[in-house]
Structure 1
């Protein structure tokens, strides 16, 4: 019988992601094509390894008031309880209530990218979200509290030296409000996350950043619980406008 090695399996997962991001960086000359390639690598990883209740896609997010977010490179959203996802001419539109996490995905992290990511994440968190009472055999449960939407950054490299250090921390802590980045990965170096108890960022330099990031993300999603019951009729009112 073959001898399995969990350590080797996890190492292979990281090496696959790192190699694909490296290939995109070296082989794609056009910045737009390079950016699309990076997004696709992360989306493919998340769709493969996250539990099937989640799905990842490049998308806009919309609320029942008709407000739209900026385009988000990677949106992790619910596919188990969400009643509808719009698709038109390869564009995906996701109701705000269905969103678990949003990420900006680029090749290299720097101060301007962190600011840009914070602005895009704030454009999602500022959207209106509904939450209806949940019916059950004995009546109804009260509306679920809205889950916090995770925000993050995914890159292959970092312009800073060290890659995960004080300069990165200064950029991240510039916005701890609506644009806060909760978690992220610099695949060539390590991952980071915001420690709410300490009120500060933790930076972990490691040999298998993509795998460590994936495990940390899954852990945070587990604590997010389930998305609220969406008020479909609040969206349906737009049929008469």
Structure 2
């Protein structure tokens, strides 16, 4: 009989994430260095455990009209069907059509950081996304509507007490439109997710939050399907200028 334990394996995943974030917070004093390290932990988590069709990076998002988002700590995007991802001097630029989710990574959850994450999410959701009809052997499928872009906040701890309570709920309720945060993980305490479009949230405290959050996000991404077919010529039009 195998001596493996699935419970221990899943618990170990959370413990690793929590410990790494805690070490970063305790040992790194420079805000920029601390922020880069935290983003790296989350991006590595997603790249290691999400299916290969997904990729996570710190990046800017751009649309075919030449509008750029703010810099986003964690962009989860399609890597299987995306025709182009720009890499330039260490910077990554991703077409808006390829994006599944965007997250802001901070050391702690508080009102300012929720508002900042909402601002970052708005800068992505406001971008224009193209979609072309899809040819197939029997004809052509109509253009697929753009998929929802999920937004969220990732932290190690919370400045609120309780960490997941009325104060967080009030902050999340400040923007239920373009800046809505659908997901969040406070690795030391729990995670949250929007239950529906009406602004109702479910808070899950205790347990192994990082692992539970990862599974919840993955299950939601499964329902997103595949990104639409990008109109490459809409981007190529910039070459004529």
Match of 1:190 in 2: 190
- Tell me how large the CA RMSD over aligned residues is: 0.9
Who is 1:167 aligned against?
Answer: 167
Cα offset for 1:2? 3.7
Map of 2:29 onto structure 1: 29
Whole-angstrom distance in 2 between the partners of 1:199 and 1:118: 14
Cα distance change on mapping 1:195 and 1:36 into 2, 3 Å = same
- Structure 2: segments with no counterpart, 5+ residues: none
Where in structure 2 are the equivalents of 1:1-241 lying within 5 Å? 2-196=2-196, 199-241=199-241
Measured against aligned partners, the alpha-carbon deviations of 1:133-180 in whole angstroms (never above 9, x if no partner) come to 011111211001110000000000100000000001000010000000
CA pair 150-197 structure 1, distance change in 2 beyond 3 A: closer
CA distance in 2, matches of 1:147, 1:64: 17
Q: What SS class does the counterpart of residue 37 from structure 2 fall into?
A: helix
Check 1:174–1:197 CA distance in 2 against 1; reply closer, same or farther (3 A cut).
Answer: closer
Contact (CA 8 Å) 2:176, 2:199: kept in 1 or not? no
Runs of 4 or more above 6 Å deviation: none
Alpha-carbon distance in structure 1 between the residues aligned to 2:161 and 2:124: 31
> TM-score, normalization: structure 2?
0.98
**Residue pair 2:173, 2:199 contacting (<8 A) in 1 also:** no
Show CA shifts across 1:166-195 (max 9, x none). 001000010000000000100000000011
Where in structure 1 are there 5+ consecutive unaligned residues? Answer: none
- For normalisation by structure 1, the TM-score amounts to 0.98
